[in-house]
Amino acid sequence: MLKKAKRIVVKVGSQLLAGEEGLNSEFIEELSRQVEELRRNGREVILVSSGAVLAGIKALGLNRKPFSLSEKQALSAVGQPYLMAEYRKAFKRFGTEVAQVLLTAEDLRPKERFFNAKNTFEALLKFGVIPVVNENDTVSVEEIKIGDNDNLSAHVSVLVNADLLIILTTANGIYDKDPTSNPDAELIPFVENEDELFKRCDFSCKTAFGTGGMGTKVEAALKAARKGIPVIIAGGKEREVLKRIINGERVGTLFIPKKRLKAKGYRILYLMQPKGRVFIDRGAEEAIVKMGKSLLSKGVKKVEGKFEKGDAVEVLSESGELIGKGIVKCSSEEMERSKLCIHRDDFVLLKEVEGESV
């Protein structure tokens, strides 16, 4: 599976890119060498890279992280050119050009913009250019931000129909507990059953192992795996890590893919922000869950929030259990009068993508 991967997304985090005097030029040069080797062997590579805020902090001589969103946006604006300059210099040694691609969730939610972005990536790869992707922090606000580059890498993998997503980190994979404070922590070589993973590991704590650290990497890996894309989480500073992964060596943690989502379902579930909630009765729930039917107005018990036709909403049972997410055919005010509320083709049932396996 890994040896056959032709199109590969590689995500690199800030901690790997951090050097004593700003960006770690030596690491970027080594990464570029490994990427070039993949390209010489017929692979296409897209880089998803953090580091803009870090570069901005160093460029302005600050000794702290940004306090506010506006500070983060400003530092990102300062640092992004420095980040791209490092990548351009590193790949120039091989005669390879790089391209800056800045994205927000709003660039991926609508079908038209999703496919416009996809076509841009296809053209860049056709030209032999390496796209370097980052979230557009300079303009990103709560409503349109993705939040972290781990999840961005999953979205990009789906966007470009990647054969493999590699998330490089400071850890050598996923461990059953935080290896920095537990010497007996064991590496998990592969993940096939997500329920078993969460029984064994707790990613909820606010540490490098939990939320914002390994937790977001696991979240992103599960999203890509549900779309049918294998994911490797591995140590970015391991020797020849990319080559070894492609050669099928046991490096890091492999998330075994289980294709359960189409591109449209992925956008609905992971990219479209719900504008409201729709509670349905037991009859409607049974029709949707067991028979794959559309949601009709007669099955709606209660509506929360204000939304328009084409918005995404969460669909819940009478008891408040989340059933799925869909795109409405009518506004919140029209829901009682409109016969068809959500067509089955515009609805994602959670049980279809979650459960005993990825």
pLDDT exceeds 60 at position 142: no
* Residue span of the structural domain in which 312 resides: 273-353
pLDDT exceeds 50 at position 315: yes
Map residue 168 onto helix, strand or coil.
strand
Rg (CA), the chain: 21
Per-residue pLDDT tens for 117-129? Answer: 999 999 999 999 9
Band of the pLDDT at 212, cuts 50, 70, 90? Answer: very low
Task: Report the first-to-last Cα separation within the chain, whole angstroms.
Answer: 17
| Pair 225, 303 in one domain | no
Q: Write down which residue in 211, 245, 264 finishes a domain.
A: 264
Count the residues in the chain.
Answer: 358
Taking phi over 0 as left and psi of -120 to 50 as alpha, with beta for the rest, 170 belongs to alpha
Band of the pLDDT at 207, cuts 50, 70, 90? Answer: very low
Q: Write down which residue in 264, 288, 319 finishes a domain.
A: 264
pTM over 0.85: yes
* DSSP letter for each residue of 340-351: EEE-GGGEEEHH
Q: Write down which residue in 264, 281, 305 finishes a domain.
A: 264
How many domains is the chain built from? 2
Q: Which residues of 105-140 are buried (b: 16+ CB within 10 A; e: fewer)?
A: bbbbbeeeebeebbeebeebbeeeebbbbbbbbbeb
pLDDT of 357: 37
Band of the pLDDT at 211, cuts 50, 70, 90? Answer: very low
Per-residue pLDDT tens for 72-108? Answer: 889 989 999 999 999 999 999 999 999 999 998 888 8
pLDDT exceeds 60 at position 206: no
Q: Is the dihedral of CA 339, 341, 343, 348 positive or negative?
A: negative
Average pLDDT over residues 134-143: 67
| Pair 260, 277 in one domain | no
Give the Å distances, CA to CA, from 278 to 73, 285, 303: 35, 12, 5
pLDDT of 355: 53
Neighbours of 249 (CB within 10 A): 12
Q: Of the ranges 64-68, 137-141, 286-290, 322-326, which one carries the lowest mean pLDDT score?
A: 137-141
pLDDT of 138: 67
pLDDT of 202: 67
CATH number of residue 110's parent domain: 3.40.1160.10
Q: What does pLDDT average to over the chain?
A: 88
| Pair 258, 285 in one domain | no
- Are 288 and 275 contacting, i.e. CB atoms less than 8 angstroms apart? no
Per-residue pLDDT tens for 326-355? Answer: 999 999 999 888 889 999 999 999 876 665
Per-residue pLDDT tens for 231-282? Answer: 999 999 999 999 999 999 999 999 999 877 888 899 999 989 899 999 999 9
